[in-house]
Amino acid sequence: MRASRVAASYGARVAVAESDRFGGTCVNVGCIPKKLFSYAAHFREDFAVAKSFGWTLGEPRFDWRTLIVNKDREIARLNGVYESLLATAGAQILRERATVIDAHTVEAGGRRYTAKHILVATGSWPQIPDIPGRELAITSNEAFALERLPRRALVVGGGYIALEFASIFNGLGVHTTLVYRGPRLLRGFDADLGAHITQEMRKKGVDIRLQTNPAQLEPGIRVTYEDGATQDVDLVMFATGRKPNTAGLGLEGAGVRLAPGGAVVVDAHSKSSVASIHAIGDVTDRLNLTPVATAEAMALAKTLFRGEPTPVDHLNVPTAVFSDPNLATVGLTEEAARRQFGRIDVYKTAFRALKLTLGGHEERTFMKLVVDAASQRVLGAHMVGPDAGEIIQGVAIAVKLGATKAQFDATIGIHPTAAEEFVTMREKAT
């Protein structure tokens, strides 16, 4: 979407082949509907907190069908907006699945089109492990269109999608189990974040089982784990990774080199092994986030059609996990900082947010700064707590600009907020 619109604004003639809905994973089965579901799941707790502030409430009731209908209406609106934006930009829209024939030829709907440049931006697709009964499970794709909400759900995985859907199901009243084969959640994130989010999600009622992995599913649905234990649930959702969507596109036949997992191998300017074929977004398996893909798109349009070779900067990209509570991070983890810089200073704080003090709620917000001991530059900022994504977005600007701990300290906080803790932490963690 972004590459086509920006390239067209630079004077390029553009055609877009899309056989499904416009907007890709993010709009249809990703960021947007997931965040809407996350909002829905948070209301149950908000109602409980409201009582401690004097509000008298009736017994809240949730209707899954209402959420689905309203979500579908909003997604359909966005599909139309995106298609209109493409048409307004002057792009030719091909409502067909396209395959690459050679370095300058694409086939779609039985017709062949030639172009100086070809861009592959086909995203990724969720994967289910090859275990007996795998056909009984769903992925995040299907979770957005369930006919009814299950009474008991098993979510398999330890990454952000697994945590988000476990929180969504749990918040909507589903008895939710989250299992992960590894020793801690959120591998690749700062270890303290994984530990803290596990503790908080358990407080909220999610049954988290680490170093546990399903071996078989049977109709019903009965889950048999690798250790022989069994569990009966109504729904099993796998969130165990996504694979670049390159199968059957004709890329290898055209000479495009693919990584073992199927990702298109590209250079810093998103160029593949064939000079005229480029790739951006999840299909390259670099940093799989929607804003990163759009940044890659704009950089590519500048490179190809504005005469400004523009590499993409993948350093210090902030990201959030819309679990309950939220989690967000930017920069280096403590582990990565120690590997790269040796001596570092670490600052941590954990506290109960003011909003939760009147009702005796036990959720605790966690914040952490990782600082280079020599230069005192802030290398990473990490948070678990309400609105973590909103807070880290602002902190990310400072981290991107190379701000020092002294500059954080010199910034006066907004009181009373959770965010002010990022500029008031003074004691180093032992």
The residues annotated with a catalytic role in the active site are: 415
- The overall longest dimension of the chain from CA atoms, in Å, is 68
CA–CA separation, 126 and 128 (whole Å)? 7
Q: How far is CA 381 from CA 164, 322, 332, 351, 397, in A?
A: 21, 17, 8, 17, 11
User: Of all helices (H) and strands (E), which one includes residue 251?
Assistant: none
* Three-point CA angle 266, 267, 273, nearest 5°: 55
Report which DSSP code applies to 313.
-
Of 84, 358, 331, 2, give the one whose Cα is nearest residue 190.
331
Distance CA 426, CA 233 (A): 47
Burial class (CB in 10 A: 0-12, 13-18, 19+), 58: exposed
The residues that bridge with 187 in the sheet, in sequence order, are 189
Cα 319 to Cα 9, 194, 322, 327, 392: the distances in Å are: 29, 15, 10, 9, 8
User: 198 vs 35, 238, 257, CA distance in Å?
Assistant: 20, 18, 39
Q: Which of 122, 101, 90 is nearest to 24 (CA)?
A: 122
Helix H, strand E, coil C: the string for 9-59 is HCCCCCEEECCCCCCHHHHHHCHHHHHHHHHHHHHHHHHHHHHHCCCCCCC
Burial category of 36 from C-beta neighbours within 10 Å (exposed 0-12, middle 13-18, buried 19 and up): middle
Q: Which long-range contacts (C-beta less than 8 Å, at least 24 apart) are formed by 414-417? A: 416/354
| Phi, psi angle pair for 267, to nearest 5° | -95, -170
Structure letter (DSSP) for residue 255: T
Q: Which residues contact 327 (CB under 8 A, 6 or more apart)?
A: 163, 186, 189, 193, 197, 320, 321, 383, 384, 388
Cα–Cα distance measured from residue 167 to residue 377, given in angstroms and rounded to the nearest whole number? 34
